[in-house]
A and B are shown apart, each in its own frame.
Chain A
């Protein structure tokens, strides 16, 4: 076991590629991203076969990396006594407006779910129980935890299981051998080395993609990253696979959620956990307008979009009405926030706000691509293998199966580990060494180019290009400033400018290794954004208003779009094509009801 610590940042200014060190590691299973899903891939793989060499390539430091780095206050799904995995799939289906969704994936995940959460409790995660020792449910499926230590608990277990963690190595690309994945490369953001991981199988679990769209909190503030999703999950895993031809599914089903205003913090904590109703400026209960769709239990995208519709209709601002909460409930709610997003408690304190006197304001978030919440991610088979042999995906990075959340991402980590082990057991041919070496050299040149140009080069900084993209996506591809709406012409505009950004990668410059990581992240963002726009263009209907709103096709079109929208990028030409795959209902019942 080893958690290979990074060093302090070094200053390097290589004058040529020859000065950049290449470090190669051979392993059986490579996990890109040691987050929620990645840690479970590692523990499961080592449990099944302790002789496997399992390596995690981690962009940050595994104890506090990714979306769980700040902590967690709830596990949104844990199947209660008397309910079945099929019931959970029915609920998940109804939450996404009847689907389509991958019921095969959803069901297999649901069958693993409780065991994965039981693991977490055995490992030391406090799950709140009542006086009789029964798990305390917050809503129908979600349970409360004191998850401040959730991330270190998962990370410690992955290391204890025997995984080797390479910290501060940011994944940049996949190594391929005749169409199958045989490893990946990474940028050492502290040591300045180019890291090559040769593997028999690879699981990509880099989380979702935040920061593709501008957040309204970035306007005229010193805060460019005050978003709900972890801003360091930028979609690099999607980009790496997409560039090599792996098929992406359902990216148009973006995750947009009602969040606290001016500090993009969680709202389910208040509205679900403490039954604080959503009201508008006239003190009217907003969800009563949606009684025919389930009211407070309406599908998630309806609840997400409802406060924004109030704003549009001139009835904003909207609030979670906390004014009648008892003091002990306020204490419990603040504790929940301290577990998940502690700085929200600081935010309220910096507004001098007593929530029993002044309700908590809410607003829509910027859109994210997150296969653990909504459905955008790689198309995978039951083994969680993408359409590229040898490349598996788990958690937010795997698509088709919404409402996974922490427990589901953990469960899927296990499934991906089993899939990868079965793939390796089938026997693999040795890769063509010359072809792999050539890829290593060309990828190294691509990754380090901005640093070789240097800070004095008359070019473009990573931040400039990121912010250009974020404005473009916000205004043309349905961001929060546009109340999530877009149309064919705006999407075409976005695509034209994305093409221009791609052609300007050649002007990116970096002053140091951190900057170089950001340059590579920005290129990843642009490539993922291109896929998102193609998905939004291809779904010529409005199925999940807010998550996906086409002002030129305002209605649902079941005849043509009760199916999955997919994209694939040609690894040679870079051309993106969109197509559909059929939906199959496996769990019987009314698709719109849980």
Chain B
């Protein structure tokens, strides 16, 4: 169910003041478990499947899954974030893979490029 944490990859963004998935989730659903040090979703029922956490994860340790009652086992959709491009790799339940790649930022003025504000 969405999102699924690949615990062998997740390190809870150790060392950061806030993990990337905790930071990204618009529903405040992601949390790093104090006992395991791994991210988890507090309540998968409340997930919108917006994939913000999946995009934000620096270790590709989060997969978004459609609840089984709505979609069959198992398909995957993986975002790979570039500087001004995004690449998506989708595999359907029959194993058919499709790749999409497109620009998500214009080559903008330097002021915009450095405008991360963090």
Question: A residues engaging B (CB < 8 A)?
Answer: 1, 3, 5-9, 59-61, 63-66, 69-70, 121-126, 146-149, 153, 155-157, 159-160, 168, 189-190, 217, 220-227, 230-232, 262-263, 331, 334-335, 338-339, 341-343, 345-353, 514, 517
Contact = CB atoms under 8 A, between A and B. Distances in A.
B46 A346 contact: no
Interface string B57-89: 000000011111111111111010000001010
Contacts of A122: 108-109
Contact of A221 (B70, B86, B88, B118): B70
B33 to A, nearest CB: 10
A469 to B, nearest CB: 15
A189 B26 CA distance: 12
Given A64-B52, A346-B64, 20 more contacts: A64-B24, A69-B26, A70-B48, A70-B50, A156-B116, A222-B44, A222-B69, A223-B47, A223-B70, A230-B48, A231-B46, A232-B27, A262-B70, A343-B2, A343-B51, A345-B90, A348-B92, A349-B71, A350-B92, A353-B92
Interface of B: 1-2, 17-19, 22-28, 31-32, 42, 44-52, 56, 64-77, 79, 86, 88, 90-94, 98, 100, 102-106, 108-109, 111-112, 115-118
Q: B1, B104, B106 — which one has the most chain A CB atoms within 10 A of its CB?
A: B104
Contact of A8 (B18, B25, B44): B18
A274 to B, nearest CB: 16
B86 A126 contact: no
B105 A149 contact: yes
A124 B69 contact: no
B27 to A, nearest CB: 5
Nearest to A261: B70
Contacts of A231: 27, 46, 48
Specify the main secondary structure of chain A where it touches its partner. loop
Given A6-B18, A8-B32, A225 B48 contact: yes
B17 A7 contact: yes
B18 A60 contact: no
Given A156-B115, A226-B67, A345-B90, A148 B104 contact: yes
B69 A221 contact: yes
Contact of A126 (B19, B93, B105, B109): B105
26 contacts: A1-B117, A8-B18, A8-B19, A8-B32, A9-B31, A65-B26, A69-B26, A70-B50, A125-B105, A146-B102, A147-B104, A148-B104, A156-B115, A220-B69, A222-B68, A224-B46, A226-B67, A226-B70, A338-B88, A342-B79, A343-B77, A346-B66, A349-B71, A351-B72, A514-B28, A514-B42
B79 A263 contact: no
B105 A347 contact: no
B118 A3 contact: yes
Contacts of A352: 72, 75, 92-94
Given A70-B48, A226-B49, A346-B77, A126 B103 contact: yes
A368 to B, nearest CB: 13
A155 B117 CA distance: 9
Nearest to B112: A124
A69 B23 contact: no
Contacts of A220: 69
A149 B52 CA distance: 11
5 residue pairs, one from A and one from B, having the closest CB atoms: A350-B71, A159-B117, A349-B75, A343-B49, A349-B92
B63 to A, nearest CB: 10
B77 A345 contact: yes
Contact of B46 (A69, A123, A225, A343): A225
Contacts of A61: 23-24, 26
Contact of A160 (B64, B90, B115): B115
B83 to A, nearest CB: 11
B45 A224 contact: yes
Contacts of A262: 70-71
Contacts of A343: 2, 49-51, 64, 66, 77
Contacts of B65: 346
Contacts of B50: 64, 69-70, 230, 341, 343
A221 B32 CA distance: 26
Contacts of A63: 23-24
Nearest to B92: A349
A334 B96 CA distance: 15
B17 A8 contact: yes
B28 A225 contact: no
Q: A66, A230, A346, A350 — which one has the most chain B CB atoms within 10 A of its CB?
A: A346
Nearest to B98: A334
A6 B24 CA distance: 11
B1 A222 contact: yes
Contacts of A121: 106
A336 B31 CA distance: 30
Given A222-B45, A346-B77, A189 B17 contact: no
A64 to B, nearest CB: 4
B25 A60 contact: yes
Contacts of A350: 66, 70-75, 92-93
Nearest to A168: B28
